[in-house]
């Protein structure tokens, strides 16, 4: 008697019923709830300046410190996710997120801003930024571009929604009260969702979306020692590729380019006569405009290869900043914001896809952590440069030139990456003992 073959769970059969799409939904809400802390920092600069008479450069050092802490901690965050699981890492992130926001409500000295925003929220950001998107990637063997596009696009709504809300909240209550309200609401959301967030398909006894019977099953329950060994060996092989190092530098260049604008655009707009409420819409508009490219760029990168798609996004980001040399009225700032947002969303959203094209289904959280090291250091340098340039020259013009040059430079370096048509280290598991290999968990044929 012949037993009929069981049709595997694939993207072509009930694609929206797979558990992986619930993971995407959880990731989206987590990003919306947590990302605004960094994305809307420019709104806090004039508030803290007026409250304490601190200089804008002194205030933005908190942003710089948070970016540095997040950058340096990102490889550790990736290692912790690979070693101990994403959920445990995100529980720590949630605790830091709630504590950091609550502590901000007590700030009275500049060093407290550096400690609470820079250190505590910097650690939370690293854990969130590395482990949320890489967990989404782990749940998709196919249609990763679509999943990343949905996650990045919807997650990018955080600043477009929260920037006006934060500005409105700060106009109605004392800023200390605002930072009691935010963790009270956001903390409940974050903790609830983290507890529901599975790190790997194997944790739920499932295969990644799009997996077939011919694909090797996910490795599960092999013990902490073999899990650590897999991550170590994979990283050793990945570091032998040029793409590993080049993608860190490319992410650094792109983030220098856009952080200058993200940190200082609101201050520049208020110096041109816009109210804080009107200037806050700059953040909202570029965040909202980035949704289209956050969604479209990963899909195009998945279908066409990531190199040219990423290079185009870097070019748009850089060229749009040219408009700031002639921007004075509110409508002009809003036009700039839309164009800048399209480039911004595309610049940051394809790294998971290019990692898959280069490194397959390996444990890439640590690799993504190193790329976030470059990203965070770029965000820190860009945020600092804008303030230093203004203090020295009384103008942002040189800062805008630096932003343009670094964005376009990142686009040029992308073109020198390896082709994305093949996995760079397809045989890395041959360096593992048999019991640690993926195929060791495969059912007998």
What pLDDT is attached to residue 14? Answer: 45
Higher-confidence residue of 31 and 441: namely 31
Q: What percentage of the chain exceeds 70 in pLDDT?
A: 89
Summary mean pLDDT of the chain: 83
pLDDT tens-digit readout, 372-411: 899 888 988 988 888 888 888 888 999 999 999 999 999 9
In the 8-state DSSP scheme, what is residue 119? Answer: I
The torsion angle over the Cα atoms of residues 335, 340, 346 and 348, rounded to 10 degrees, is -140
Separation of alpha carbons 13 and 9, rounded Å = 7
Return the structure tokens found at 391: 């203090």
Residue 209 bridge partners (DSSP) = 140
Confidence category of residue 218, pLDDT binned at 50, 70, 90: low
Report the chain's C-alpha Rg in angstroms.
22
SS3 letters across 192-246 = HHHHHCCCCHHHHCCCCECCCCCCCCCCCCCCHHHHHHHHHHHHHHHCCCHHHHH
Tell me the backbone φ, ψ of residue 209, rounded to 5 degrees.
-60, 130
In this predicted structure, the answer to whether residue 443 has a pLDDT above a threshold of 60 is: no
Assigned architecture for domain 18-201+224-433:
Up-down Bundle (1.20)
pLDDT tens-digit readout, 55-102: 877 888 888 888 889 889 999 998 888 878 888 899 999 999 999 889
In this predicted structure, the answer to whether residue 415 has a pLDDT above a threshold of 60 is: yes
Separation of alpha carbons 398 and 389, rounded Å = 7
Range with the lowest mean pLDDT among 242-246, 277-281, 425-429, 438-442? Answer: 438-442
Average pLDDT over residues 261-272: 86
What pLDDT is attached to residue 10? Answer: 43
Long-range contact set of residues 41-45: C-beta below 8 Å, sequence gap at least 24 = 41/263, 42/262, 42/263, 42/264, 42/265, 42/266, 42/267, 42/283, 43/163, 43/166, 43/167, 43/170, 43/266, 43/276, 43/280, 43/283, 44/175, 45/263, 45/266, 45/267
Q: Where are the domains of the chain?
A: 18-201+224-433
Task: Please tell me whether residue 424 adopts helix, strand or coil conformation.
Answer: coil
């Amino acid at each position: 008697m012949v037993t009929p073959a069981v049709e595997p769970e694939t993207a072509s059969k009930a694609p929206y019923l797979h558990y992986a799409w619930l993971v995407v939904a959880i990731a989206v809400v987590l990003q919306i709830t947590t990302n605004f802390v960094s994305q809307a920092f420019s709104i806090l600069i004039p508030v803290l300046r007026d409250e304490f008479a601190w200089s804008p450069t002194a205030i933005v050092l908190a942003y710089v410190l948070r970016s540095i802490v997040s950058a340096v901690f990102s490889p550790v965050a990736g290692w912790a996710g690979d070693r101990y699981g994403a959920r445990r890492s995100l529980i720590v992130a949630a605790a830091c997120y709630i504590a950091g926001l609550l502590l901000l409500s007590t700030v009275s000295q500049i060093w407290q801003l550096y400690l609470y925003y820079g250190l505590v929220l910097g650690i939370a950001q690293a854990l969130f930024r590395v482990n949320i998107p890489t967990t989404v990637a782990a749940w998709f063997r196919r249609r990763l571009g679509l999943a990343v596009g949905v996650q990045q696009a919807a997650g990018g709504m955080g600043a477009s929604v929260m920037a006006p809300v934060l500005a409105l909240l700060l106009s109605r209550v004392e800023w200390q009260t605002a930072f009691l309200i935010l963790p009270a609401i956001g903390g409940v959301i974050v903790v609830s969702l983290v507890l529901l967030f599975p790190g790997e398909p194997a944790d739920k006894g499932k295969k990644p979306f799009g997996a077939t019977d011919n694909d090797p099953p996910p490795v599960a329950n092999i013990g902490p020692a073999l899990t650590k060994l897999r991550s170590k060996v994979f990283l050793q092989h990945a570091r032998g590729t040029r793409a590993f190092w080049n993608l860190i530098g490319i992410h650094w260049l792109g983030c220098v380019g856009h952080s200058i604008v993200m940190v200082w655009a609101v201050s520049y707009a208020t110096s041109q006569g816009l109210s804080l409420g009107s200037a806050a819409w700059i953040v909202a508009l570029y965040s909202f405009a980035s949704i289209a490219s956050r969604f479209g760029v990963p899909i195009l990168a998945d279908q066409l290869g990531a190199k040219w798609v990423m290079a185009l996004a870097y070019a748009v980001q850089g060229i749009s900043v040219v408009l700031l040399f002639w921007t004075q009225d509110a409508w002009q700032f809003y036009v700039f914001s839309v164009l800048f947002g399209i480039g911004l969303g595309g610049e940051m959203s394809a790294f998971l896809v290019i990692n898959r094209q280069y490194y397959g289904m390996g444990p890439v959280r640590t690799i993504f952590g190193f790329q976030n090291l470059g990203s965070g250091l770029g965000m820190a340098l860009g945020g600092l440069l804008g303030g230093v340039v203004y203090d020295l020259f009384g103008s942002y013009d040189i800062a805008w030139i630096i932003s343009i040059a670094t964005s376009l430079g990142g686009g040029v370096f992308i073109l020198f990456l390896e082709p994305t048509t093949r996995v760079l280290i397809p045989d890395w598991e041959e360096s593992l003992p048999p019991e640690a290999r993926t195929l060791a968990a495969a059912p007998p044929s």
